[in-house]
């Protein structure tokens, strides 16, 4: 699907979907529970649906109604996956479920779509091997799926791993510890994406587990086994999804309210609010009402809404995204509309997501006239605001329309599409393979259209 954009002004209220990270954790823990669990406001995205469909493979059952999923936990009947686990495009499912499967005797096989079969699993192989599993990739000399695992693993050995490739397999090991006898100890030499480890810790503690994570995240202990009782939960809104209407409003003449905002602190991506306000963004977060009011350009409180790095040290923004690397696409997009230089740092993990996001952003933003630099673990944007300090048009702002590739990466697609809403009247961005947004934000274009975003599907002649 090709989506074209048009200059837009956004207004009204909008709700974003539930959190993917919370939904997948809830599903797997519910599958491990002994009883019936009800999950309200789950995210019905492709990744979450892949997890939903995988539950029967380990002995659980589930049914879905709008806004409510019910999981009939397997409890003591939880077992080795009885078929090949195809995770689709979900790295979370791959890295979470493979350690859980490794707690059982026998072989399990994990694979996925073309994108998943390019993502590394050598760190999973190494970690599970340290715990006594026989783990390998099916193709000799490769470090990607299909992944083969023969369990069972044991908590007797301590794991030492870097944690740089991803935090997801660490969360998977923490969940697997609930099925093991003894205390699983994990040593991380260079932990990344640490807010997600805290999220997993809170989930495990909510089902009765004893978890300890050191202040520097280098030492983790999880005591098992734990018999999980049935639970009901409501999935909070997804900050990774909040980022896109937030950015779209700030770069257009807009005034919107994003509802049902998660203020629990369990999603590291909420740090984007502080990043954007440091640039002068007009954002009001009412934690009691669970809303974000976002005003951009002429609709901002000062009637100008200029974003700039001029009040920051060295007149540059340095933002470390190691804790929430999925924000790279949204931050890069808004940096193109910011006066000054933005350095996005400590993001080597972004090269191992659905795409090499550093490389893709460098190439696709260049098509729009943006000036960027890429490094192994950093990305630099030399941006310009469309308005001067006095609110007049800035002649140095030169972004323009183009046909761009999403590379079937949902966050790349949403970021590029939002940028198209803020260009000149005669400019448009055409995003190819835009249907991939459904991976994390089903009906993204319809939802955004409800607050005035002009997105159009282009049909082949």
Walk along the chain (461 residues) and give the pLDDT tens digit of each residue: 999 999 999 999 998 889 999 999 999 999 999 999 999 999 998 899 999 999 999 999 999 998 999 999 999 999 999 999 999 989 999 999 999 999 999 999 999 999 899 889 999 999 999 999 999 999 988 999 999 999 999 999 999 999 888 889 999 999 999 999 999 999 999 998 898 999 999 999 999 999 999 999 999 999 999 999 999 999 988 998 999 999 999 999 999 999 989 888 888 889 999 999 999 999 999 999 999 999 999 999 999 999 999 999 999 999 999 889 999 999 999 999 999 999 999 999 899 888 999 999 999 999 999 999 999 999 999 999 999 999 999 999 999 999 999 999 999 999 999 999 999 999 999 999 999 998 889 899 999 999 999 999 987 55
Chain position carrying tokens 């009001």: 284
The residue from 262, 282, 326, 409 that is catalytic is 326
Residue 326 annotated in active site: yes
pTM for the structure as a whole:
0.82
- Distance (Å, whole) CA 391 – CA 99: 55
């Amino acid at each position: 699907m090709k989506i074209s954009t048009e200059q837009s002004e956004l207004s009204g209220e909008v709700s974003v979907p539930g959190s993917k990270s919370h939904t997948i954790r809830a599903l797997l823990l519910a599958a491990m529970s002994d009883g019936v669990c009800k999950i309200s406001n789950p995210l019905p995205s492709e990744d979450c649906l892949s997890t939903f469909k995988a539950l029967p493979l380990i002995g659980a059952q589930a049914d879905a109604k709008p806004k409510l999923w019910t999981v009939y936990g397997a409890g003591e009947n939880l077992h080795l996956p009885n078929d090949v686990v195809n995770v689709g495009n979900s790295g979370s499912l791959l890295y979470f479920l493979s350690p859980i499967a490794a707690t059982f005797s026998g072989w399990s096989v994990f694979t996925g779509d073309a994108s998943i079969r390019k993502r590394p699993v050598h760190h999973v192989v190494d970690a599970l091997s340290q715990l006594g599993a026989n783990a390998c990739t099916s193709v000799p000399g490769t470090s990607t799926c299909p992944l083969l695992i023969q369990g069972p693993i044991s908590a007797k050995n301590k794991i030492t791993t870097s944690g740089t490739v991803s935090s997801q397999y660490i969360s998977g090991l923490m969940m697997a510890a609930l099925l093991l006898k003894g205390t699983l100890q994990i040593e991380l030499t260079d932990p990344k994406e640490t807010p997600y480890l805290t999220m997993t810790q809170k989930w495990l503690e909510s089902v009765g587990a004893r978890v300890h994570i050191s202040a520097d995240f280098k030492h983790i202990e999880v005591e098992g086994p734990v018999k999980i009782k049935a639970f009901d939960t409501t999935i909070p809104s997804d900050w990774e999804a909040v980022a896109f209407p937030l950015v779209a409003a700030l770069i257009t003449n807009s005034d919107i309210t994003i509802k049902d905002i998660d203020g629990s602190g369990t999603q590291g991506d909420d740090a984007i609010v502080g990043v954007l306000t440091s640039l002068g963004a007009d954002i009001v977060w009412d934690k009691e009402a669970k809303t974000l009011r976002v005003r951009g350009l002429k609709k901002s409180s000062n009637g100008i809404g200029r974003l700039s790095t001029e009040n920051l040290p060295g007149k540059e923004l340095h933002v470390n995204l190691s804790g929430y690397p999925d924000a790279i696409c949204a931050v890069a997009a808004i940096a193109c509309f910011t006066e000054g230089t933005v350095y996005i740092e400590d993001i080597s993990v972004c090269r191992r997501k659905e795409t090499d996001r550093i490389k893709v952003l460098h190439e696709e933003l260049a098509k729009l006239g943006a000036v960027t630099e890429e490094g192994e673990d950093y990305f630099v944007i030399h941006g310009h605001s469309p308005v001067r300090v006095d609110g007049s048009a800035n002649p140095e702002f030169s972004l323009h329309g183009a046909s761009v590739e999403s590379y079937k990466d949902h966050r790349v697609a949403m970021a590029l599409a939002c940028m198209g809403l803020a260009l000149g009247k005669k400019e448009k961005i055409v995003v190819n393979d835009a249907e991939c947004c459904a991976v994390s934000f089903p009906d993204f274009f319809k939802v955004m259209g409800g607050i005035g975003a002009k997105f159009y599907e282009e049909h082949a002649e």
